[in-house]
Chains A and B, each alone.
Chain A
Amino acid sequence: MDQDRGYCPSRRGVLAGGIAAAGVAHAPLTAQEAALPPTQPTTVPVTLKVNGRTNRLDLDTRTTLLDALREHWHLTGTKKGCDHGQCGACTVLVDGRRINSCLTLAVMHDGDAITTVEGLGTPDKLHPMQAAFVKHDGYQCGYCTPGQICSAVAVLGEIKAGIPSHVSAELDGDYQPSAAEIRERMSGNICRCGAYSNIVDAMLDVAGAKA
C-alpha cells in the first residue's frame, strides 16, 4: 500500500524524522549491550485484517501496531498521543478487546483482526457510540475522541461480560453501566479538553438504549 503514495514530504513525516534523530543523541547502552554488534533493521511480512480488509505489508520489526495503521494502512483515525500507553488516544480493538496500539508491535498481531474508529461506523451510518458522542458533545478538539470511542464501545462490552472493576462493590456482582463504573473503566483515556462529563453522558445514553 505504501507504493501508491509515492514521495510526498508531509509535515508529519518531517516531524517524525526530526524526533527520531533527536532520540539517538543521548541513548545510553549498557557496557554489555554496547559490546554487541549492531543489528541491521529487519523487515518481516505482516498480515492484518483491519476493519474487515486483509492486507499484507513488509514492516520493520520495530513498527508498532499504531504506526502500521497510520503510516502504512493510512488509517489516521487512530491517534498518537503520548506513544507510551498513558493517554489512550491510540486505543483500538484487537479481536474485540481494547488495547493501546502504541505499546504493541505489528508483527505480534500477524493474522489478528483489528477494528479502528473507521471500522466502527461511517459518516453516513454512525456507530451508536459515535452518534452519542456527537449528540452529547463528548469532545472539544477531537484528538482523543477516536480512542475514547473505541474504549467506550469496549467498556460497555466488558460490563456486559461481567468483568469487575476497581469500583465494583462486589466481585461476583451483576455490573451496571453507572457513571462511577464508566469513570473508573475509562481512566486510561485522557481528554485534555476535559469533555469527561459529556463522554459519560454519551456512554450512559448508549448503555440505556441497549438495555
Chain B
Amino acid sequence: MIPFTYTRATTPAEAARAAIATPGARFIAGGTNLLDLMKLQIETPRHLIDVNALKLDTIAPTADGGLRIGALVRNTDLAADKRVRRDYAVLSRALLAGASGQLRNKATTAGNLLQRTRCPYFYDTNMACNKRKPGSGCAAIGGFNRNLAVLGTSDQCIATHPSDMAVAMRALDAGVETVKADGTTRTIPIADFHRLPGTTPERDTNLEAGELITAVTLPRPLGGTHIYQKVRDRASYAFAVVSVAAVIQPDGRGKLAFGGLSHKPWRVEPAEALMPQGPHATAAAVLAGARTTPQNAFKLPLVERTLDLVMTQAKGAKA
C-alpha cells in the first residue's frame, strides 16, 4: 500500500464533501475489496474516509410497504434479516451464495454494489487492462477469458461484475439512494446504477465524484417463488460462472436477472413475457446479441440449462 491519511466521517453529507475536497480520497466501509486492491496497488488512494460511524446500519420499512436497507448493513445481517428472508428470499439466497462467512460479516450493502471485477487481467498489474489503466489495452480479449463477459461487452473490456447480491437486487427492481457533495440526494434505479464498459471501462457505476450511497430500497414484496441459482467451479466460496435470480409467480411469469454474464447484472424485461414458453425461448431472448470467445461460449447453453432448472424448481415449489 502507498501511504494515506485517514479520517472518520460523522455525517453522510460531510463524507461526500470531504471526498470532493481531498484529492485521491476514497470511502472505506467493510474494506474487504478495497484493501485487497490497495495491497496490490491497483487502488492507490491518498486519503481514506471511514464511513463506518455514519449509522447507516439499519433496515426499516418504507412508506410504500418496501424496505430501506442502510448502506452499512453487513451482508450477514441482510441475509439473516427476518423480513428479507420472508419477503425477499432471492436476496438472502444470493448473499448466502457469495463469499465466505468471514467476508459476509464485514462486507456492506453499498460496498457489495461497488466491488470491482475479478477479471484476472485487472488484478495482474503486469498486464494491459483498460479498466485499471485506461488506454493500456485489454489482455483478456484473446487471453484467458473462460469466465468473462458475453453480453454488453466492448472492444475495450470484457470484465464481469462479480456480485451475487446485485443480481438479486436487479430482479427486485431495487433503488440506490445517494447523497452528493452539494448535499442533494437522489435515488438511482438499480438498472441505471452499473454501466456497460463501452469506451470508459474504468467507470463501473454512474455515481458522480464524491457521491455516497446511503441506502438501497426494495419495492413492496412481490410474492411468488424466490430462487437464486448459482453455477460455479466449486461448491462454495467461488464467483459465479452463471447465476440466475428469479421471482416466479404461480402463472409461470416473473422477473429474471443474470450474473456472470456482463459488466452489470443482466436483465431483459421483454424476455420475461416469454417465460410461459419455457427456458429455450426465454434464454434466447435474454442472450440476444451475445459475443462469445471460444473459451466462454459454453456460458450460453449453461444459461438456458440453469434457467430450465430454476423454472422446474419454481413449478415444484408451486405444486
Q: Which residues of A contact B (CB under 8 A)?
A: 23, 26-30, 33, 36, 38-42, 44, 60-62, 64, 83-85, 88, 91, 97-100, 103-105, 107-108, 151, 154-155, 158, 162-166, 168, 171-172, 183-189
Contacts and interface: CB of A to CB of B under 8 A. Distances in A.
Contacts of B125: 26-28
A165 B237 CA distance: 12
B4 A188 contact: no
B63 interface: no
A29 B44 contact: yes
B312 interface: no
B102 A100 contact: yes
A62 B4 contact: yes
A164 B39 contact: no
Contacts of B174: none
Interface of B: 1-6, 23-24, 28, 30-32, 35-36, 39, 41, 44, 46-48, 50, 52, 76, 79-80, 82, 85-86, 89, 92-93, 96-97, 99-103, 105-106, 125-126, 132-134, 202, 235-237
Given A154-B101, A163-B76, 17 more contacts: A27-B41, A27-B125, A36-B23, A36-B24, A39-B3, A39-B47, A42-B5, A83-B39, A103-B32, A104-B32, A108-B52, A162-B80, A163-B80, A164-B85, A166-B97, A186-B101, A188-B102
B103 A100 contact: yes
A172 B24 contact: no
Contacts, number: 141
Given A85-B103, A98-B105, A164-B96, A33 B44 contact: yes
Contacts of A28: 41, 125, 132-133
A29 B1 CA distance: 12
Nearest to B105: A97
Contacts of A91: 102
A84 B100 CA distance: 13
A40 B132 contact: no
B100 A164 contact: no
A184 B235 CA distance: 8
Contacts of B24: 33, 36, 39
Contacts of B132: 28, 30
Nearest to B52: A108
Contacts of A183: 236
